């Protein structure tokens, strides 16, 4: 495993992190026992993974709870990122008093007195200013020692630029993958500001794992895709295949993201040891500049004129 610095935080994080949305989340990921979840976290650590991403609404708080149990004896060896704004009961509320209660509850579930990074979880655009009550709260929490750094989890370059130009955020989590490269427009500004980038949805919710096709049946959050969207994703994936060749599509997808020096860590999910091992192995290789350019050109020609959508 290779490591990178998370922006200006001085925190060293594994290139491949651990997206913990699946822990305790039977609806979207299928059944996983508590022992299996804890074992999966320990397996990640044993392979050098040090960055763990979670949120209160993942598994209605169960993700944080399971991470807390798994990491209780290793707290100083890992970097924990959680979020505020999406609550365990699936309510989305950025009222400052509720955000304060949210982080206090997260700390209890995680069995720690601080988190390394705390993010506003896809907040309204109006929150993405240094003068907003939400960012003032983040400043307060940092001064209290409950968090070491803060930022927001967003989806677009426009949101990234608003954060970069108007706040003191040290980290941004953003959606970015082979099928969705729009946020790249803000990467250079992030580098100039020395803001660490955490990349979410790196496998396009599973399409870049190679396990889905146009006849796949989806439940949970993946049921958002229409038949037309599924067919188009299948077609685009077929056009990508000649560029990838015989390489693992998962590792190609992750190495593409890591080919950008602005990225600090990428957080794919995994529901078992096999998936986890394949994810983490992406750090053992490196994508060439030529391969990266080919994938960027592929997106510009095949997807950018008519985006696939979330």
| Number of domains forming the structure of the chain | 1
Tell me whether residue 176 is in a domain: yes
Residue with tokens 């990266």: 292
Whole domain around residue 80: which residue ranges?
3-209+248-287
Question: What does the pLDDT read at residue 25?
Answer: 65
User: Quick one: how many helices (H) and strands (E) in the chain?
Assistant: 11, 10
Question: What does the pLDDT read at residue 274?
Answer: 94
Question: Is residue 9 a contact partner of residue 147, using CB atoms and an 8 Å limit?
Answer: no
**CATH number of the domain encompassing residue 72:** 3.20.20.100
Per-residue pLDDT of the chain (310 residues; tens, 9 = 90+): 999 999 999 999 999 999 998 888 666 556 778 899 999 999 999 999 999 999 999 999 999 999 999 999 999 999 999 999 999 998 999 999 999 999 999 999 999 999 999 999 999 999 998 789 999 999 999 999 999 999 999 999 999 999 999 999 999 999 999 999 999 999 999 999 999 999 999 999 888 988 888 888 887 778 888 888 899 999 999 999 999 998 999 999 999 999 999 999 999 999 899 999 999 999 999 999 999 999 999 999 999 999 998 8
Question: What does the pLDDT read at residue 130?
Answer: 79
Tell me whether residue 7 is in a domain: yes
Contacts of 35-40 spanning 24+ positions with Cβ under 8 A: 37/66, 37/70, 38/66, 38/69, 38/70, 39/273, 40/270, 40/271, 40/272, 40/273, 40/276
Question: What does the pLDDT read at residue 192?
Answer: 98
- pTM comes to 0.96
Phi-psi region of 52 (alpha: psi -120 to 50; beta: other; left: phi over 0): beta
Tell me whether residue 101 is in a domain: yes
Tell me whether residue 24 is in a domain: yes
Tell me whether residue 224 is in a domain: no
Tell me whether residue 301 is in a domain: no
Tell me whether residue 235 is in a domain: no
Which residues fall within 8 angstroms of residue 66, CB to CB, at 6 or more apart? Answer: 20, 23, 24, 34, 37, 38, 41, 59
Terminus-to-terminus CA distance in the chain, angstroms?
A: 30
Tell me whether residue 222 is in a domain: no
């Amino acid at each position: 495993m290779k490591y990178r610095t998370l922006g200006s935080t001085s925190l060293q994080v594994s290139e491949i992190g651990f997206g913990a949305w699946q822990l305790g989340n039977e609806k979207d990921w299928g059944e996983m026992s508590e022992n299996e979840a804890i074992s999966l976290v320990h397996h990640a650590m044993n392979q050098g993974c040090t960055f763990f991403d979670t949120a209160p609404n993942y598994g209605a708080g169960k993700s944080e709870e399971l991470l807390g149990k798994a990491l209780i004896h290793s707290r100083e060896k890992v970097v924990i990122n959680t979020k505020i704004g999406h609550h365990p009961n699936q309510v989305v509320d950025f009222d400052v008093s509720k955000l304060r209660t949210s982080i206090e509850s997260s700390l209890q579930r995680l069995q720690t007195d601080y988190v390394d990074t705390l993010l506003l979880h896809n907040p309204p655009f109006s929150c993405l200013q240094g003068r907003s009550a939400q960012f003032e709260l983040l400043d307060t929490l940092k001064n209290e020692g409950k968090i070491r750094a803060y930022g927001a989890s967003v989806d677009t370059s426009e949101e990234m630029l608003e954060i970069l130009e108007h706040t003191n955020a040290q980290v941004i989590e953003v959606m970015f993958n082979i099928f969705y490269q729009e946020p790249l427009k803000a990467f250079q500004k992030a580098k100039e500001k020395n803001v660490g980038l955490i990349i979410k949805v790196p496998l396009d919710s599973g399409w870049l794992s190679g396990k889905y096709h146009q006849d796949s049946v989806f439940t949970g959050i993946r049921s958002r895709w229409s038949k037309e969207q599924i067919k188009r994703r299948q077609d685009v994936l077929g056009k990508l295949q000649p560029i990838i060749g015989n390489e693992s599509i998962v590792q190609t997808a992750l190495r593409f993201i890591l080919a950008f020096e602005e990225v600090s860590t990428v957080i794919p999910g995994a529901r078992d040891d096999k998936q986890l091992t394949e994810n983490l192995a992406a750090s053992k290789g490196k994508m060439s500049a030529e391969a990266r350019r080919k994938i960027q050109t592929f997106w510009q020609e095949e997807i950018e004129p008519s985006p696939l959508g979330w």
